[in-house]
Amino acid sequence: MSMAAARESGLKGTHFLDFSGWTAHEMHAVLALANELKQKRAKGEPTPYLQGKTLAMLFDKASTRTRVSFEVGMYELGGHALFLSNQMTQVGRGEPLADTARVLSRYVQGIMVRTHAHANVEELARYSTVPVINGLTDDHHPVQVLADFMTILEHKGRLRGLTLCYVGDGNNMAHSLLQAAALVGMHIRIASPHGYEPRADIVQQARRRAMPAHSEVTVTEDPYAAAKGADVIYTDVFTSMGQEQEAEKRLLDFAGFQVNQELLGLADQDAIFMHCLPAHRGEEVTEEVLEGAQSVVFDQAENRLHAQKALLVALMSDHS
């Protein structure tokens, strides 16, 4: 059923740069397929949906979960993944991204890129004739949110009508969560210090797309008000890659925004705690919360594999 849903979604051959062009149907189709692939893996059933296909993986940023999940995912789907860092390609020596996209499109059936500027991913997509997947940019991290929503479904049984509270930097994670929450009918509250709010245009986009009575979008400087009664508490590091020189200032600016037992205690009694990892214990989250009974962070990490396999099948498979 989920393979049929993925086929009907019409995603084959398209790019996946963020959630702005997706529908709720497409989101649920990919998540259903992810669940099916997870079950097949648990049973040891083969899933050779990408037999003979190759994914080029361009990395301009360090990675653990993104690289391993895409590489293992392609292997388990019967395909092959090529790891290409900037230092290993002519991009690092000044070859235009447009040329790189056109060359790689002649060799592979998909391109995944993890880089800094979102404009770089858009440039690759503009000139690529095969699907381009955003594995992370400074503005968006949509592949992470696919795994996040898969995890929420597993623990809560639904997405629509839930309240997700994100505490911390209004960064790429906040942006992708805003887009996706509005898409599926989830209330979302972003609590960030003054000056670290998510981009206003993405907040407005989420509010425009939000389902009436199902997707209230709130941006506040009060993490405790945001956490009250929430079904999901989510955080990310205060200092992302490339911001290391700001680390000391950020720790001061984010004082009071740590997810600790007091803040988690304001959420619904059955709330789950989420973090995209890697985590800085003692900064954005306490050890007690991260390792506590309400934490599902390692379910999230595992689901990167299943969600991204589903995405790859939806975009690249002749069977989808």
Which residues belong to the annotated binding site?
63-66, 90, 114, 141-144, 172, 236, 240-241, 276-277, 304
Name the active-site residue from 144, 179, 300, 308.
Answer: 144
Measure the N-to-C terminal CA separation of the chain; round to a whole number of Å. 11
Which residue numbers belong to the known binding site for L-ornithine? 172, 236, 240-241
Name the active-site residue from 15, 28, 114, 250.
Answer: 114
304 is catalytic: yes
236 is catalytic: yes
207 is catalytic: no
Instruction: Write the DSSP string, 198-226.
Output: PPHHHHHHHHHHPPTTT--EEEES-HHHH
Name the active-site residue from 138, 139, 148, 236.
Answer: 236
Question: Beta partners for 133?
Answer: 16, 112
C-beta of residue 104 within 8 angstroms of C-beta of residue 111: yes
Alpha helices (H) in the chain, listed in sequence order? 2-8, 24-43, 65-76, 97-107, 118-127, 142-156, 172-184, 200-209, 223-227, 247-253, 261-264, 287-290, 297-316
141 is catalytic: yes
Name the active-site residue from 28, 140, 141, 306.
Answer: 141
205 is catalytic: no
179 is catalytic: no
Which residue numbers belong to the known binding site for carbamoyl phosphate? 63-66, 90, 114, 141-144, 276-277, 304
Name the active-site residue from 276, 300, 306, 308.
Answer: 276
Question: Active-site residues: which are they?
Answer: 114, 141, 144, 236, 276, 304
